[in-house]
Amino acid sequence: MRILLTLLSLAVAFATEANAGDSIRLPVIKDNSIVMVDGEWDQNAGQQGQIRVKGNQHIVTMAFDMSAVAGKRVKRATLVCVQGEQHISGVTLSTIASPWDEASSNGLTAGIEGVDDWGYAGARFPAVSGGNAFTLVHQSRSLVRDGKYHWDVPADMIHVMAMGLADGLAIHEHDADYRRNPTIFSHHQSSKEPYLLVELDDSADADPEAAKNLQLESPDIESAQLTLTSPMHGFAYEVTVDGSSLGRHNIPMVVPGRPQTIPLRDLASSIPPDQPYEIRVVTLNRTGQRSPPAVLRGVILKSRPVDRPSLTFAPPHPSPIPGLSVIPVTDKFDASGKGVGELPENYRTHNPIFDGKRVQLTAAAGEVVGFQLLLRGDDSEQASVKVHVNAPASRVELHQAVYVPANGRMIPDPLLPMPETVSLNPDTDQCIVADIYIPFDASPGVRTGKITISDGRVVPLSIKVHPFTLPRQATFLCEMNGYGLPDHVDDYYALQQIAYDHRVHANILHYSHNTAAPGARKSNLDMRLRSGRRMDNQRYDDIQPDSKTGYWNDFVEAFGPYIDGSLFQNGHRGPIPAPGFYLTFHESWPLNCRPYFNGDLDAYQAFSAHPEYARTYVNILQDFARLADSKGWNQTGFQVYFNNKGSLDQTTKAPWILDEPTSFWDFRALQFYGELTDRGREVAADVQIDYRIDISRPEYCRGQLHDRDDLWVVSSAAYQNYRRLVTDRMQRDGLKAWVYGTTNHVHESNRNVQAWALDAWQYGATGIVPWQTVNKTGSALTNADQLGLFIFAKDPDGQTVVRHSMRLKAYRDAQQLIEYLNLLQQRRGWTQQQMRRFVNQYVDLNVQVHKTDEVDAGTSAYGRLSSTGLESLRLATAKLLAAG
């Protein structure tokens, strides 16, 4: 009797709650806390009574019994969860675009038999939630009543779940404070289980209409794109290919009356290439009514062959020159003669450019080619080295490599100007690096020359010039990252000249993380100018609220020659404008953010009492844009970049982490500043001002940064783990993406640099950014420095000089190889997939990204690169280009 009364009481309570708001209570049928912590990605929490909702480390998944609202229109809904430990201030709610199993799902797999990972091969859970993969996303502040969180849920999220177009909700905490472990109770905890409270809407939804103008675009061996014109009335699509449903992670919601693209990929193995199949698209409204199908029949997957030219290398000469080796500039041997990386036993005297007796190089017009000369001789013998190329005259530069201790070995890395003579030794190598600049007007044919050693050894040299020319301006950018300007503008110019000669550019950030501190310098522009005086940094920073103009005189004098390219007027490539240049704009320039900040983490509310803060930012950016336009700086790659890593409590810094954002509030702040930047740059449409975001967690945007056709600099790890997410943004939003990481260690093969650039390029990235490339102390001349590609040192007179690393040659060779490939793609009209297949015929780009900690940029390693693969790719590309 007591049990019956209890049941009756519960029934009355439920009826009262439902009738009070005409609401329906939908119970949870499965839930889990998806763990996204290194070393714990394979953990499952699907049977626990309490589950964590913790920043980017634990996202809760929930699915509900939707039968009570199937076919009904919803007005509003609330997700109710009993509070566990700690407090959650707000959450991102999103739909989930893949089915999952409570007992076996984790961060790496949905746990569904027959379903790859989370819907497609390599997909981790964040890739199919949080606004990614066409999922719906919503932000909800926490309302706590009677120990329960009440999070409002948009009606359309209920509709897609009720229609079976999403498998539940993901709950992602706004904050990212990992000192806490916030929890909620799961459906396994009796009397504390979560539920959805749904209020119905009596209004009818319009009948759905069929999509129009279906077309197939870019069919390739792996995928195609279906384009259509969406109907004016409709909510969602259902797409089938040969009767099989296309995965929800590929299908957008209806955007009425707009052209839309649906990627056709992850198809069943029963869909072979080169055969026509039927594609059916049905439009649904919110109550599940269906339109007549729009039907298209065509070849979805299409075999597109790529050529594989035959290549031959000269056989080894039976009697190589004693004590002399020539190797490609990207390889290296330690001082004892042992190879770095996996090199064949006879590689010193037989490799793609040297057969033991003769050096044979190939080059496009405008290319810079090089080699390393490894010399031995009688003990203490002094020898001079000359490299001569017959007419037309080519610029030749020689450098002596310095051996530095690296991982227990002496390995060549820093380069010094070639002295008159070098000391030889019978047991260790003297390493000399040669660069040969092929003129842009060089005609096709073979140039001859020779390498002469003063002890009588002579090596014949030939250079075959191809019948095509590299572009003077790089089409794939290698941006050398650095912090803090040198003392004198001439040192800055010297740094840029070395970068220019290697077809890269150095971008030096000129402000610090502590620019929000009271009285702090908001920028650090105080180099000594050629006139002898210093830049007036105080005047540059002294911008008052609501100012409309800034002080640009010293900026123009210092940076103008580099920005417009006139600094390189007499250089190999002529005057090339700066491909990338950090502007000073950030959260504390032109105005320091903290005096105007009211403590609200929502950047859109944080300065509500001081609109002059945002106005001044826009005013000064408009002033700069007009200045740039008046100077004709229309080809320079200006960047507005928010480098600072801050927090609400660190008052000397920004309130948010804006470089590699982590919490929802960080991404929202970047959206806020992006919109201010849009307003500032719109006054000069011909000036290229990119809003740059360095991002290591693109999977956690949570609906922010939507439709921004800006520049993302994505970490190597993110580009590896969430590549499709990034490439989809590139295709849909017109986003430019570069990949940042760390140059290989000195004791590792320099071919890793080439493979990193090639791997980024083959999936659509247009640049790479090696982190912290400037060694300011000169220590890299005596000890291996993984980061130091440019080395500031002192000459015997105490004057500052800039040296560079052998690894910079690897970046140059990588950039030039990609120029070859871009030319080939333009001429052949190959798709990106065809280009990948062409590249993969010669090189194995299976990458592993190594990180020392969470904030490490990541070093890419390619364990199965053959010693001849990259050169074979280069020669094969050249052969196809030469054939026309």
For the stretch 690-742, pLDDT in tens is 999 999 999 999 999 988 889 999 999 999 999 999 999 999 999 999 999 99
Q: Which long-range contacts (CB under 8 A, 24 or more apart) does 391-394 make?
A: 392/439, 392/441, 392/442, 392/447, 393/439, 394/436, 394/437, 394/438, 394/439, 394/442, 394/447, 394/463
DSSP-assigned states of every residue in 650-683? -TTS-SSB-SS--SHHHHHHHHHHHHHHHHHHTT
**Mean pLDDT, to the nearest integer, of 428-443?**
96
Q: What is the mean pLDDT of residues 86-94?
A: 97
Question: Rounded to whole angstroms, what are the CA distances from 397 to 11, 385, 432, 497, 775?
Answer: 88, 11, 10, 14, 23
First to last CA, the chain: 92
The one-character DSSP state at 781 is: G
Instruction: Please give the pLDDT value at position 452.
Output: 97
Q: What is the pLDDT of residue 850?
A: 59
Identity of residue 830: W
**Residue 493: helix, strand or coil by DSSP?**
helix
Q: Give residue-wise pLDDT tens across range 346-367.
A: 999 999 999 999 999 999 999 9
Nearest to 837 by CA among 873, 791, 867: 873
- Compute the C-alpha angle 517/518/521, nearest 5°: 70
pLDDT of residue 380: 81
Contact between 197 and 25 under an 8 Å Cβ cutoff? The reply is yes
pLDDT at position 516 is 84
Amino acid 709: pLDDT: 82
Mean pLDDT score of the chain: 93
Q: Which residues contact 377 (CB under 8 A, 6 or more apart)?
A: 323, 383, 424, 425, 426, 455
- Residue 23 has a pLDDT of 87
CA pair distance 468, 821, nearest whole angstrom: 12
At 278-320, the pLDDT tens digits run 999 999 999 999 999 999 999 999 999 999 999 988 999 999 9
pLDDT tens per residue across span 444-474: 999 999 999 999 999 999 999 999 999 999 9
Rounded to an integer, what distance in angstroms lies between the CA atom of residue 804 and that of residue 494?
A: 11
Strand-pairing partners, residue 738, are: 713, 767
pLDDT at 806: 97
Distance of alpha carbon 18 from alpha carbon 26, whole angstroms: 11
Compute CA distances 104 → 43, 133, 429, 448, whole Å.
9, 22, 58, 67
332-341 pLDDT per residue, tens: 999 999 999 9
pLDDT at 114 over 90: no
Residues 6+ apart with CB under 8 A from 656: 587, 601, 603, 646, 647, 663, 665, 666, 669, 670
Q: What is the structure's pLDDT at 854? A: 57
Q: Is the pLDDT of residue 234 over 70?
A: yes
HEC secondary structure over 142-185: CEEECCEEEEEECHHHHHHHHCCCCCCEEEEECCCCCCCCCEEE
Contact assessment for residue 218 and residue 831, using Cβ atoms and an 8 Å cutoff = yes
- Which pLDDT belongs to residue 338? 95
Q: Measured between alpha carbons, how far is 173 from 769 in angstroms, rounded to an integer?
A: 31
pLDDT surpasses 70 at 871: yes
Q: Do the beta carbons of residue 446 and residue 465 sit within 8 Å?
A: yes
**Share of residues in the chain with pLDDT > 70 (%):** 95
Please write the tens of the pLDDT for every residue from 237-281. Answer: 999 999 999 999 999 999 999 999 999 999 988 899 999 999 999
Predicted model pTM: 0.93
ω into 392 cis (within 30 of 0): yes
What pLDDT shows up at residue 14?
A: 36
- Residue 276 dihedral angles phi and psi, to the nearest 5°: -75, 145
Q: What does the alpha-carbon distance between residue 133 and residue 252 come to, in Å, rounded to a whole number?
A: 8
- pLDDT of the residue at 193: 96
Strands (DSSP E) along 285-408, which ranges?
Answer: 294-299, 324-327, 359-365, 368-375, 382-383, 385-389, 395-406
- What pLDDT was estimated at residue 15? 34
Digit-coded pLDDT (tens) for 801-855: 999 999 999 999 999 999 999 999 999 999 999 999 999 999 988 766 655 555 5
